Structure 1
Amino acid sequence: MSGRKQFDVDEAVDKAMAVFWQRGYADASLDVLGTATGLGRGSLYGAFGSKDELFRRALDRYSATYGARYEHALTAHPGDPVRAIEAFFEVILARIDDPAVPKGCLIAQSAAQAAVLTSNSAAHVRGLLDLQHARIRAALDDPHADPAMLDDLATYIVAVNQALAVLSRAGASDAELRAVARLACETVANRLIPAD
């Protein structure tokens, strides 16, 4: 259409995702989002309806981007849940170490701000954490293990992942983060491999 500036919606969501990831929902004002995306308020509202909807689209983009990597790591070692969890943490540590993206994790950042999110967005964040739990639980599946223990172990791995994100934002070193991941993998091994 002549006279109207066209923009790439996917690119705008990517740029908004970086803002929410770096600043959190509360500090990602429409002015900051507009500057990052190059869109005025009218265009933001026209394309996304609301800041809240843009936030959920950014969460979905983040989940699709990194969730696929987690899924690959967790399914690449069938029958070897310890190696699957090691691969999962390798992907997480690579993301944390990537200088092209903010430190931490958008989902962890968003979960920490649940009190200021709308109920729809808070539920969306919780749903993404539940999805991560389901992926990890599937990788841990062992017909010989107690299902309740496997559920608890999956919750533990989700918690360690979120803790790594928080620690990375607080300036923890790569060595410190790797030590946490290593201990988590040892815990998984100790819970899944019966003692002789």
Structure 2
Amino acid sequence: MTGRKQFDVDEALDKAMAVFWQRGYADASLDLLSAATGLGRGSLYGTFTGKDELFRRALDRYCATYGARYEDALTAHPGDPVRAVEAFFEVVLARIGDPAVPKGCLVAQSAAQSEVLTADSATHVRHLLDRQRARIRAALDDSHADPGTLDDLATYVLAVNQSLAVLSRAGIPDGELRAVVRLTCETVANQLTAVG
């Protein structure tokens, strides 16, 4: 189309995602987002209607990129929920340790900033956390524990995952993060054995 700038929406979302991931929602100004994506404000508003929708779309892009990896890890060991949780954390640690992406987790960082998000975006972040918890809970279903214990363990694993992201962003060494994962997996195994 003559006279209109063409651009790759997914590429723009990847670049915006990196800004939100590095800076957080509050500090990701439209000027920073425009500079990162190479799009003027008009193009940003024309495509995404504003910062808030761009943020939610960037979150969805983040979850599409990493969510499939988590899902694969959690479903790769049917009948062995402890191994599924271990595999999940292996993916988490690999992402945290990847020097090609910002430290931490976009969802964890966004959850920590919920008070400055719009109601729609805060709800969206909560939905993404709930979806991750549901994936973990489904992997734990392969045990004989009562549903209440499995619910509690799913929330516990979710909480540790989000904590790992915060700790990694604070510069905690990989060895210490791995110690947290080891203790978490031992706790899950012990809880499932105690009630199995």
Distance in 1, Cα, partners of 2:148 & 2:135 = 16
Q: Where does residue 133 of structure 1 map in the other structure? A: 133
Q: Equivalent residue for 1:101?
A: 101
Q: How big is the shift at 1:51?
A: 0.4
Query: What pairs with 1:119-158 in structure 2 (closer than 5 Å)?
Result: 119-142=119-142, 144-158=144-158
Mapping of residues 64-83 of structure 1, within 5 Å: 64-83=64-83
Rounded Cα–Cα distance in structure 2 between residues aligned with 1:29 and 1:149: 43
Within-5 A mapping of 1:27-106: 27-106=27-106
Identify unmatched segments of 5+ residues in structure 2.
none
**What CA deviation, in whole Å up to 9, does each residue of 1:139-176 have, x standing for no partner?**
00146211101000000000000000000000000001
SS at match of 1:193: helix
- 1:162–1:195 Cα change, 3 Å: closer
Secondary structure, counterpart of 2:26 in structure 1: coil
CA shift digits 1:108-147 (9 cap, x unpaired):
0000000000000000000000000000000001462111
Structure 2: how far apart are the matches of 1:152 and 1:4?
A: 52
Deviation at 1:195, TM superposition (A): 8.4
Contact 2:143 2:192 in 1 (8 A): no
* Closer/same/farther in 2, CA of residues 62 and 195 from structure 1, 3 Å limit: closer
Q: For each residue in 1:18-42, what CA deviation from the matched residue of structure 2 results, as whole angstroms up to 9, or x when unmatched?
A: 1001100000000000000001111
What's the TM-score, normalizing by structure 1?
A: 0.98
Instruction: State how far apart, in whole Å, the 2-side matches of 1:188 and 1:8 are.
Output: 43
Paired residue type of 2:55: F
Question: 1:14 & 1:89 partners in 2: Cα distance?
Answer: 24
Query: Is residue 20–residue 106 contact of structure 2 (8 Å, CA) maintained in 1?
Result: yes
Residue segments in structure 1 that go unaligned for 5+ positions in a row: none
Matched, 1:111 2:95: no
Q: Distance in 2 between matches of 1:143 and 1:180?
A: 23
By how many angstroms is 1:2 displaced? 1.4
Shift of the alpha carbon at 1:4? 1.9
2:79–2:143 Cα contact (<8 Å) kept: no
The amino acid across from 1:21 in the alignment is W
Match of 2:186 in 1: 186
Count how many residue pairs are aligned between Structure 1 and Structure 2: 196
Contact 2:80/2:142 (CA < 8 Å) preserved in 1? no
User: In percent, how many aligned pairs have the same letter?
Assistant: 81
**Aligned Cα root-mean-square deviation (Å):** 1.2
Question: What's the offset of the Cα at 1:101?
Answer: 0.4
CA distance in 1, matches of 2:142, 2:150: 8
